[in-house]
Amino acid sequence: MARFLLDPTGERTIIERVRLPRPATLVGQTIGLLDISKPRGNVFLDRLEQHLVELGAGVRRYSKPTFTKPAPVDLRHEIATQCTLVIEALAD
C-alpha cells in the first residue's frame, strides 16, 4: 500500500515576477529612497540622493514607521504610483 505523509507547509503557490529591464539612463527617472528608520540610514540616503540628482534623476524620500515591520501597504502603494525606481536603505 502506498505510504504518504501530510504536507506541513502552507501549500502556497509562488508567484514568480519578471524583473523590469535595467533602465538605460537615470535621467528623467523618479527614484524613491526608502529609509527603514534605522539609525544613520539618513546619512546613507543623503549621499545617494546627492549622487542621483547629479546624474539627472529626480528623488523622492520616504520612511517606514519602524524598521521592525514590513512597509505599510499604503506606503508601498504611494511609492509604486509616484516612482519609477526605488532604493531601500538598511543601516547602522
Partner 1 sequence: MSTPRLPDGFVVIVKEECETCRMVAPLLAQFEVTVYTQDDPHFPPSVSPIHDADLSVSWHHDIETVPTLIKVMEGIEIDRTVGWSRAEWQRITGITHLGDQLPVFRPGCGSMSVDPDLVDSLRARFSGGTLRSRHIELADLDDEMEMLFDRGLTDGLPVVPPTEERVLRMLQGTTRAADDIVATVPPDLVPVTIEKVAINAVMAGCKPEYLPWVIAALEAVCTDEYNIHGVLATTMPVGPVIICNGPGTRAIGMNSGVNVFGQGNRANLSIGRAVQLIVRNVGGGRPGEVDRATHGNPGKISFCFPEDEVGSPFTSLATSRGVEPGLDAVTVFAGEGPRCIVDQKVRDPESLASALAASLRTLHSPKLVLGFDVILVVGPEHARVFAEAGWDRERVLAELHSRLQIPGSELVYGAGGIADGVPEHLRDVTLPKFRPDGILLVHAGGGAGLFSAMIGGWANGTIGSQPVTRLVTK
The C-alpha cell that represents 92 in the structure block: 547602522
Only segment of 27-35, 51-59, 67-75, 80-88 that touches partner 1 (CB under 8 A): 67-75
Q: Which of 12, 17, 19, 22 binds partner 1 (CB under 8 A)?
A: 12
* DSSP H or E run through 60: strand 58-63
The C-alpha cell that represents 25 in the structure block: 539612463
The C-alpha cell that represents 9 in the structure block: 507547509
Residue found under cell 504518504: 4
Give yes or no for residue 2 binding partner 1 (CB under 8 A). Answer: yes
| Cβ closest to partner 1, residue 68 vs residue 81 | 68
Give yes or no for residue 73 binding partner 1 (CB under 8 A). Answer: no
CB-CB contact of 36 with 44 (8 Å): no
| Cβ closest to partner 1, residue 7 vs residue 74 | 7
Query: What residues line the site for partner 1 (CB under 8 A)?
Result: 2-12, 66, 68-70
